[in-house]
């Protein structure tokens, strides 16, 4: 994971360090050549890339990268890379045989990148070194295409005294009180989850959890924004249950409540489902850990699972090229998650943190040991001497480059002073977790790795971790965008009569993106740890952090690929606005942002334009809202052939509640409460669920963004909550007012009678997705005071109804009994993916 | 009726947390000398007519095993059914 | 009053069970799987989770933990023992309770707020309920389907050993809607849903779970009183 961290912008940068320093390595690769690896990839999770390759299965669907492979002249199986029988490629051998041809192109390196490596080393790289550079300089690990854009998050960052100094490692850290801080981050594991849905999703959760753990935090909850292809496509019935099972299987067994997420269907994700996973953790303010391997003489300890041939990306290229075909056992394999091992790893690390036993720590992700040893020593400006013979292996026949690149899960690298080594090993022993000293920190400025008495790697670590290539790739607005934008959904025929409106409402609530998601969420434990105050389907997840004071956090993750397709700048801001609004709707004060940017191939200038626009939109939006981006992740190459997914920036917002007992839920409960619609409703149907469900239409411009309005909305809700005016608040977003009312009614089975505002026609009032709106449920008797408060703040409001009854009744239009609504709303996913009702007895 | 037995095992290079958990538990039961344990699935398919190994292989390949992480073998059951 | 909560590697709800014990007014004592010492506790809770990963069968490996030998002995002597979810599975594997818990009929993990009817109030853990009382507590399991042969089920029913049943829908396909059972003496109870997740209005669907913990304190208090 570390590798992935890419965008973490934090405080360091904010203070003037270069963003690159915070991100990881540099590199460039030529994706085309990379073949599978790249295909996979997203920079986001480390593990993915590797897996891809394993997935030959899938390769052909990815963009056209592979064709090139066969024709590249960089290397062919006849050329021998390494030839000493029985021996690995070593540094002396590299010196002795400088002209051996090497399969760098197959590994995704460009000619000039390879030349640069030779330049850095003053010789050709060994096989192990070549593999290390190819992975560390890949898009996935180095963010070489995204870096130039991501630096805006740092450059535009709003100063925040809540952002703890010295962050910039794996995730941002936000101070909650004098004693407590939280850290949170989202990552993707998209491609592996397509190849092997259960394990891909499971290891995606495992990866982000270790990221948070490496910060010194105890992970306390996860969330999972998920996106799939068409709900009725046969492959969706393979991918969705597997991914949901994997998220649940891993998270449940780890003992982390799942408090929210998204479930979105769109045909654009058919061959590229998106598995994004967010983890939040809590740590003492002084307990932030870092990854720097300082102190020559300190021990380097590998903690956790044995190392096997898991997800060895480029290693397969070397294996097949070097050893000929038939070495099945050397082929890369899908990583299998072991949540029990991770649970123990968490307990060991936390015990070690409490006793202040480590100097540095880093989780192992993409490029495994190779990445961890170079990043930790690069971060400290030190060197390291590693003996691979000490690494516990699952398969003793593993070769050095396989050991270095293995992506076996549930491992951490610790830097420990010699006097504490014994204590660290004893704690690991007590929990039954393997821990082994594999080397020492040195002052040489080189990472030197030995295997069977021979030196297989001797590199300056910063050249892998920090000095990779950076690209400013060409960008161009998509050719079809002007036409799409001209084709507005506002011109489509709308329902006008009460019956038509009723029918439309029922069809919408039963549509896959708006229906009841409990088929999915019931597979997740939301109760474990006993601090979940709100979880799905509430607007945001709310966690109690301090049982004494009630101090807690609210979290929401949101994205809308359709809006972003129509306007990536606005789409990213709308995702930010929605997450912000969801957090504010609980009464919390939003304070920090994380993101996961899911896009097609950066080599496509149209995709690159979408990416740049989305990043610019998000960075500008954060400035306007006054909250910083604290970290994130980029996933490129989410495309099938030449067709990319809709650009899908997913944004997570974290807010603070001084006392979670004061949080606002979303459901109607009390007869006689007054429903007040906050904000302006405009005729904004382009990109809406209504347009998609009723007309299969995507065109026009997304709803107008007004971040000042979002802020105002949050301010009014928070003030009203403090004054005790509100019994609930539910945000308006996908599906518009109609969906908000349905969800609020069905939450506790309490109806409402509504009089639609007359400023717009009924269909627009019900289905428009204008941003900056929320439904306030005002406690009976408080309505005058509440509306006066809104008035005072200049926030438009309209009293639109009263809570009560067993129907959702819209005056002069229609009425639907809640039972009928519930049947329509809750039947969809079970019908698609199988009922959860057990046979009785 | 003819029975075909399909054994599905994780590929050798794939981590098997289940087998590992059992292997780790054995010393507590006083069992030593076990180097590793791997756990798979056995599926019995009863054909109406003759045992059809090709058909069984097809079933195993398409459904019973996940070729990304698992291997399988098929055999006609002789007598143990 | 000292109530021990066992932590196996992979236990997850041990912290929640300890919180519930504290909220009930008792002292929560951490017990460790590898340590046979019960530290003078008056009662023991085996919490939910995935002990040792539960990769073979839920509870199958935990049963052999050193602490379990002490617990089996103590249970034989009348000490109250409550197994929640994974703890229930461990109690069945350890043969302190009959039957077994197998994969849910629909094959999915399921977490929902579940209505139960308390059937037996003659146990150390349910004496403060009224017979037939309906309560709401979370259920969350992947292997929570209670099964036993018909003779055992009949005997459980006829000897008032079905402690609680699912009502308003059976979440996992358990035989005869069984959610909780007890041993003959009534000191050992296994329950699949999670009382420890229904002890605070803020975080649970109700506070009905609290009565399990209040019951055992009443039971122990009564016993202490009687002995004195």
Q: In this complex, do A523 and C109 lie within 8 Å of one another by their Cβ atoms?
A: yes
**pLDDT for A159:** 80
Distance of alpha carbon A780 from alpha carbon A668, whole angstroms = 12
Q: What is the domain-level CATH number for residue A770?
A: 3.90.650.10
Q: Which residues in C lie closer than 8 A to residue A527 (C-beta atoms)?
A: 16, 111, 138, 140, 194, 197, 203-204
**pLDDT for A315:** 56
Tell which C residues from 26 to 65 touch B, by Cβ distance under 8 Å: 52-53, 55-56, 61, 64-65
Q: What is the pLDDT of residues A137-157, one digit of tens each?
A: 988 888 899 999 998 888 888
Distance of alpha carbon A316 from alpha carbon A36, whole angstroms = 10
Whether pLDDT at A320 is above 60: no
Distance of alpha carbon C220 from alpha carbon C41, whole angstroms = 11
Query: Mind telling me how many Å the CA of C52 is from chain B's nearest CA?
Result: 7
Q: Which residues in A lie closer than 8 A to residue B21 (C-beta atoms)?
A: 340
| Higher-scoring residue by pLDDT: C85, A19 | C85
Q: What is the pLDDT of residues A418-431, one digit of tens each?
A: 999 999 999 999 99
Distance of alpha carbon A304 from alpha carbon A284, whole angstroms = 24
Q: Which residue is closest to C57 within chain B, CA to CA?
A: B18
> What angle do helix axes A783-793 and A707-722 make, rounded to 10 degrees?
140
**pLDDT for A710:** 98
A809, β-bridge pairs: A753, A815
| Higher-scoring residue by pLDDT: A702, B78 | A702
**pLDDT for B17:** 83
pTM of the model as a whole: 0.89
Whether pLDDT at A44 is above 50: no
Query: Mind telling me how many Å the CA of B41 is from chain C's nearest CA?
Result: 12
**pLDDT for A142:** 87
Contact A174, A194 (CB under 8 A): no
Whether pLDDT at A453 is above 70: yes
| Higher-scoring residue by pLDDT: A264, A87 | A264
The SS3 assignment for A768 reads coil
**pLDDT for A836:** 57
Q: In this complex, do A523 and C10 lie within 8 Å of one another by their Cβ atoms?
A: no
- By residue count, chain C amounts to 228
Tell me the domains of chain B and their CATH numbers: 2-76 (3.30.1280.10)
Q: What is the pLDDT of residues A45-73, one digit of tens each?
A: 333 333 333 333 232 233 223 333 333 33
Q: Which residues in B lie closer than 8 A to residue C53 (C-beta atoms)?
A: 17-18, 21
Is A609 among the domain residues? no
Contact A463, A590 (CB under 8 A): no
Q: Which residue is closest to A395 within chain B, CA to CA?
A: B13
Q: What is the mean pLDDT of residues A310-326?
A: 52
Comparing C-alpha atoms, which of A800, A834, A807, A810 is closest to residue A822?
A807
Comparing C-alpha atoms, which of A683, A676, A707 is closest to residue A787?
A676
**pLDDT for A4:** 37
Q: What is the pLDDT along chain C (228 residues), one digit of tens a residue?
A: 999 999 999 999 999 999 999 999 999 999 999 999 999 999 999 999 999 888 888 888 898 899 999 999 999 999 999 999 999 999 999 999 999 999 899 889 999 999 999 999 999 999 999 999 999 999 999 999 999 999 999 999 999 999 999 999 999 999 999 999 999 999 999 999 999 999 999 999 999 999 999 999 999 997 654 443
Whether pLDDT at A16 is above 50: no
Q: What is the pLDDT of residues A333-354, one digit of tens each?
A: 678 899 999 999 999 999 999 9
pLDDT band at residue A775, thresholds of 50, 70 and 90? very high
Q: Which of C50, C51, C162, C203 to mutate to test the interface with A (most CBs of A within 10 A)?
A: C203
Is A713 among the domain residues? yes
Instruction: Provide the residue range defining the domain that includes A746.
Output: 479-515+664-831
**pLDDT for A170:** 55
Q: What is the pLDDT of residues A158-206, one digit of tens each?
A: 887 888 743 444 578 899 999 999 999 999 999 889 988 999 999 999 9
Q: In this complex, do A522 and C10 lie within 8 Å of one another by their Cβ atoms?
A: no
**pLDDT for B78:** 73
Domain count, chain A: 1
**pLDDT for A160:** 79
Q: What is the pLDDT of residues B55-76, one digit of tens each?
A: 999 999 888 888 777 899 999 9
Phi and psi angles of residue A253, each rounded to the nearest 5 degrees, phi first = -75, -20
Q: What is the pLDDT of residues A614-641, one digit of tens each?
A: 999 999 999 999 999 988 899 999 998 8
Query: Mind telling me how many Å the CA of C66 is from chain B's nearest CA?
Result: 9
Whether pLDDT at A21 is above 70: no
Q: Tell me the residues of A at the C interface, defined by beta carbons under 8 Å apart.
A: 245, 248-249, 252-255, 338-341, 343-344, 431-432, 518, 521-533, 544, 547, 660-661, 834-841
Q: Which residues of C are catalytic?
A: 85, 194, 196
Q: Tell me the residues of B at the C interface, defined by beta carbons under 8 Å apart.
A: 17-18, 20-22, 24-25, 28-29, 39
Contact B9, B40 (CB under 8 A): yes
User: What one-character-per-residue DSSP string does A174-237 give?
Assistant: EE-SSSEEEEEEEEE-HHHHHHSHHHHHHHHHHHHHHHHHHTTPEEEEEEEEEEES-TTSTTHH
Is A633 among the domain residues? no
- State the CB neighbour count (10 A cutoff) for residue B66: 17
Distance of alpha carbon A53 from alpha carbon A405, whole angstroms = 13
Is A717 among the domain residues? yes
Is A189 among the domain residues? no
Residues of chain A with pLDDT > 90: what percent? 77
Residue that has been written with the tokens 């004195």 in this structure? C228
Whether pLDDT at A682 is above 60: yes
Binding site: what residues of A are annotated? Answer: 143, 185, 187-191, 210-211, 335, 363, 407-409, 595, 632-633, 635
Whether pLDDT at A735 is above 60: yes
Q: Which residues in A lie closer than 8 A to residue C28 (C-beta atoms)?
A: none
Known active-site residue A697: no
> What angle do helix axes A605-625 and A147-155 make, rounded to 10 degrees?
10
Contact B5, B43 (CB under 8 A): yes
Q: Which residues in B lie closer than 8 A to residue A331 (C-beta atoms)?
A: 13
H/E stretch holding B4:
strand B2-10
> What angle do helix axes A605-625 and A707-722 make, rounded to 10 degrees?
40
Q: Which residues in C lie closer than 8 A to residue A249 (C-beta atoms)?
A: 109
Whether pLDDT at A14 is above 50: no
Contact B47, B6 (CB under 8 A): no
Q: Which residue is closest to A748 within chain C, CA to CA?
A: C205
**pLDDT for A250:** 96
**pLDDT for A661:** 96
Is A759 among the domain residues? yes
Tell which C residues from 126 to 185 touch A, by Cβ distance under 8 Å: 138, 140, 142, 145, 169-177
Q: What is the mean pLDDT of residues A792-808?
A: 97
The SS3 assignment for A652 reads strand
User: Neighbours of A (≥3 Cβ pairs closer than 8 A)?
Assistant: B, C
Q: In this complex, do A523 and C172 lie within 8 Å of one another by their Cβ atoms?
A: no
Tell me the domains of chain C and their CATH numbers: 2-227 (3.40.50.880)
Listed range (A677-691, A746-760, B13-27, C133-147) with the worst mean pLDDT: B13-27
Whether pLDDT at A692 is above 80: yes
Is A442 among the domain residues? no
pLDDT band at residue B28, thresholds of 50, 70 and 90? confident
pLDDT band at residue A76, thresholds of 50, 70 and 90? very low
Whether pLDDT at A24 is above 80: no
């Amino acid at each position: 994971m570390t590798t992935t961290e890419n965008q973490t912008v934090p405080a360091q940068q904010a203070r003037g360090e270069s963003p690159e320093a915070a991100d990881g390595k540099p590199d460039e690769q030529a994706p085309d050549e990379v073949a599978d690896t790249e295909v996979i990839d997203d920079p986001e999770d480390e593990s993915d890339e590797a897996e891809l390759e394993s997935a030959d299965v899938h390769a052909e669907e990815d963009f056209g990268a592979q064709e090139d492979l066969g024709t590249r002249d960089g290397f062919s199986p006849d050329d021998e890379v390494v030839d000493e029988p029985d021996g690995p490629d070593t540094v002396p051998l590299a010196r002795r045989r400088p002209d051996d041809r090497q399969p760098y192109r197959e590994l995704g390196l460009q000619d000039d990148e390879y030349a640069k490596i030779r330049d850095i080393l003053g010789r050709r790289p060994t096989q192990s070194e070549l593999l290390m550079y190819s992975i560390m300089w890949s898009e996935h690990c180095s963010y070489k295409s995204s870096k130039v854009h991501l630096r805006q998050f740092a450059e535009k960052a709003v100063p925040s005294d809540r952002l703890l100094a010295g962050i910039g490692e794996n995730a941002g850290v936000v101070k909650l009180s004098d004693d407590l801080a939280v850290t949170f981050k989202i990552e993707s594991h998209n491609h592996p989850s397509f190849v092997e849905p259960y394990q891909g999703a499971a290891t995606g959760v495992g990866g982000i959890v270790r990221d948070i753990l490496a910060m010194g935090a105890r992970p306390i909850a996860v969330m999972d924004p998920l996106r799939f292809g068409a709900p009725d496509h046969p492959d969706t019935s393979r991918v969705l249950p597997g991914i949901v099972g994997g998220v649940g299987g891993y998270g449940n067994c780890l003992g982390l409540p799942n408090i929210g997420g998204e479930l979105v269907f769109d045909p654009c994700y058919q061959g590229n489902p998106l598995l994004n996973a967010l983890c939040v953790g809590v740590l003492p303010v002084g307990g932030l850990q870092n990854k720097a391997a300082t102190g020559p003489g300190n021990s380097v300890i590998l903690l956790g699972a044995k190392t096997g041939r898991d997800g060895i990306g480029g290693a397969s290229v070397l294996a097949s090229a070097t050893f000929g075909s038939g070495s099945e056992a050397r082929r890369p394999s899908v990583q299998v998650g072991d949540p029990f091992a991770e649970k123990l790893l968490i307990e060991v690390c936390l015990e070690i943190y409490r006793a202040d036993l480590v100097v540095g720590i880093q989780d192992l992700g993409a490029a495994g040991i190779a990445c961890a040893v170079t990043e930790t020593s690069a971060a400290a400006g030190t060197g390291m001497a590693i003996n691979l013979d000490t690494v516990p292996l699952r398969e003793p026949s593993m070769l050095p480059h396989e050991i270095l690149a293995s992506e076996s899960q549930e491992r951490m690298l610790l830097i420990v002073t010699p006097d504490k080594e014994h204590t660290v090993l004893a704690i690991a022993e007590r929990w039954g977790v393997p821990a082994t000293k594999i080397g020492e920190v040195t002052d040489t400025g080189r990472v030197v790795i030995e295997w069977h008495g021979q030196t297989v790697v001797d590199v300056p670590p910063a050249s892998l971790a920090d000095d990779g290539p950076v690209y400013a790739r060409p960008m161009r607005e998509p050719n079809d965008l002007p036409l799409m934008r001209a084709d507005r959904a506002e011109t489509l025929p709308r329902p006008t009569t009460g019956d038509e409106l009723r029918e439309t409402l029922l069809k919408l609530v039963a549509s896959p993106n708006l229906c009841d998601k409990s088929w999915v969420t019931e597979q997740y434990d939301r109760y474990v740890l006993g601090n979940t105050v709100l979880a799905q389907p509430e607007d945001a997840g709310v966690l109690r952090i301090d049982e004494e004071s009630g101090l807690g956090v609210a979290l929401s993750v949101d994205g809308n690929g359709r809006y972003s397709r129509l306007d990536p700048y606005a789409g990213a801001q709308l995702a930010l606005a929605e997450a912000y609004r969801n957090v504010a709707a609980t009464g919390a004060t939003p304070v920090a942002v994380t993101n996961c940017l899911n896009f097609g191939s950066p080599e496509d200038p149209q995709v690159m334009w979408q990416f740049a626009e989305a990043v610019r939109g998000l960075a500008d939006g954060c400035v306007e809202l006054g909250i910083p981006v604290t970290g994130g992740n980029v996933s490129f190459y989410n495309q099938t052939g030449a067709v990319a997914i809709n650009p899908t920036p997913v944004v997570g917002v974290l807010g603070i509640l001084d006392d979670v007992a004061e949080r606002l839920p979303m459901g109607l409960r009390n007869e006689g409460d007054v429903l007040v619609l906050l904000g302006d409703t405009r005729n904004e149907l382009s990109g809406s669920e209504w347009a998609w469900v009723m007309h299969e239409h995507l065109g026009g411009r997304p709803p107008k963004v007004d971040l000042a309005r979002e802020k105002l909305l949050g301010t009014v809700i928070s003030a009203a909550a403090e004054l005790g005016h509100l019994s609930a608040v539910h945000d308006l977003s996908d599906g518009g007012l109609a969906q908000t009312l349905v969800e609020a009614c069905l939450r506790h089975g309490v109806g409402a009678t509504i009089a639609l505002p007359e400023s717009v026609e009924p269909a627009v009032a019900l289905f428009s997705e204008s941003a900056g709106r929320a439904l306030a449920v005002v406690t009976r008797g408080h309505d005058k005071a509440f509306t006066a408060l809104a008035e005072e703040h200049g926030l438009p409001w309209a009293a639109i109804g009263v809570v009560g009854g067993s129907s959702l009744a819209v005056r002069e239009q229609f009425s639907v009994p809640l039972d009928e609504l519930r049947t329509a709303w809750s039947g969809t996913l079970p019908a698609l993916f199988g009922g959860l009702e057990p046979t009785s007895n | 009726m003819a029975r075909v037995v399909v054994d599905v095992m994780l590929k050798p290079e794939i981590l098997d947390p289940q087998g590992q958990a059992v292997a780790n538990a054995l010393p507590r039961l006083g069992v030593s000398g076990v180097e590793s344990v791997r756990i798979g699935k056995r599926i019995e398919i009863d054909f109406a007519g003759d045992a059809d190994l090709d058909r069984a292989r097809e079933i195993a390949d398409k459904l019973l095993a996940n070729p990304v992480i698992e291997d399988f073998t098929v055999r006609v059951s002789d007598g143990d059914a | 009053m000292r109530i021990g909560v066992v932590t196996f590697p992979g236990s997850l709800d041990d912290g929640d069970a300890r919180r519930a014990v504290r909220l009930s007014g008792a002292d929560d004592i951490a017990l460790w799987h590898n340590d046979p010492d019960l530290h003078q506790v008056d009662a023991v809770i085996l919490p939910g989770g995935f002990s040792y990963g539960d990769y073979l069968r839920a509870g199958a490996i935990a049963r052999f933990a050193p602490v379990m030998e002490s617990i089996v002995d103590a249970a034989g002597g009348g000490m109250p023992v409550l197994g929640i979810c994974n703890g229930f599975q461990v109690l069945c594997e350890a043969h302190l309770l009959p039957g077994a818990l197998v994969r849910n009929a629909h094959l999915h993990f399921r977490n929902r707020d579940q209505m139960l009817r308390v059937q037996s109030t003659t146990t150390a853990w349910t004496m403060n309920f009224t017979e037939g009382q309906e309560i709401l507590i979370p259920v969350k399991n992947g292997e929570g389907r209670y099964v036993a042969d018909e003779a055992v089920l009949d005997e459980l029913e006829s000897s008032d050993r079905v402690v609680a049943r699912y009502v308003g829908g059976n979440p996992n396909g358990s035989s005869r809607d069984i959610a909780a059972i007890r041993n003959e003496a009534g000191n050992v109870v296994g329950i699949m849903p999670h009382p420890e997740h229904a002890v605070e209005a803020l975080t649970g669907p109700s506070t009905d779970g609290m009565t399990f913990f209040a019951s055992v304190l009443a039971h122990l208090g009564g016993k202490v009183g009687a002995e004195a």
